[in-house]
Amino acid sequence: MSELADRSGTEADSLGRAWSALMRAGTAHTYERGEIMVLAGATDTFVLLLLDGFAKVTTIDDLDTTVLVDIRASGDVVGETAAFDNEPRSATVTAAQHVSVRRISQEEWLGWVVQYQAAGLAVNRSLAHRSRTAVRRRTEFTRGPVISRLCRAVLDLIGQYGRPTPQGLSVRPGLSHAEWGDLIGARERRVQHALQELSAARIVSYSRCRLTVHSVPGLREFAADQ
């Protein structure tokens, strides 16, 4: 939903009004690290607008294992699909740190989409972008050696959520070896070895689930390997 802030001219004015209205919608709520925000299979229909913090989106695979499939950050909306189709939640969303949101009822969300047509278009764009991203990731994150897939995933996340620091680009939120493995379809031990190799090459550093990128060109070089 950050698309609401990425337009210009008349459309930007319309989206700005829509965004202001959405920021006032619903009620303020906070979640602490590890708290479930949306539960897979639940039949509730509220929508959450993330104002601050990160959340992790997980599903259950065929082996009944929890798998990380995506990350959401401030400006993103979660839960809107259930608000549109009244079907059970398809994934669980968990706070990765302290998260501030606006919790918006289905009625208020649908009313907002109808009232602000430009916003409705932005919502559709956001859903389409999310679908395209999922397809792209299934291709890029599952092709080639583990270290190449990991580098593609890191590049993807720093493009969205990277934060400059004196040491390099910090990847947020912090992910464990297992969670990086979930994203690229690799075992935790293989991810650990890949991170050790990248650290030895001084491309990244990794400690306590915190990954810092020191060389984006180095990442791209490894990512290009098939």
As a whole number of angstroms, the distance between CA 158 and CA 10 comes to 31
Tell me the pLDDT tens digit for each residue of 20-75.
Answer: 999 999 999 999 999 999 999 999 999 999 999 999 999 988 778 888 888 999 98
pLDDT of res. 9: 52
Amino acid code (one letter) for 142: T
Q: Which stretch of DSSP H or E encloses residue 124?
A: helix 117-140
pLDDT of res. 11: 61
Q: Determine if residue 223 is left, alpha or beta; phi over 0 gives left, psi from -120 to 50 gives alpha, anything else beta.
A: alpha
As a whole number of angstroms, the distance between CA 182 and CA 191 comes to 10
- CB within 8 A of 211, min separation 6: which ones? 154, 170, 171, 174, 175, 195, 204, 205
pLDDT of res. 129: 84
pLDDT of res. 226: 61
Answer CATH for 2-139 from 2.60.120.10, 2.102.10.10, 3.10.150.10, 1.20.1260.10: 2.60.120.10
pLDDT of res. 8: 46
Q: Compute CA distances 5 → 58, 75, 222, 226, whole Å.
A: 27, 9, 34, 37
Tell me the whole-structure pTM to 2 decimals: 0.81
Domain definitions of the chain by residue range: 2-139, 141-224
The ranges of the chain with pLDDT < 50 are: 3, 5, 7-8
Question: Which tokens in the block code for residue 76?
Answer: 């993103």
User: Could you give the 3-state DSSP secondary structure of residue 97?
Assistant: coil
Question: Which tokens in the block code for residue 210?
Answer: 């915190």
In the CATH hierarchy, which top-level class contains the domain 141-224? mainly alpha
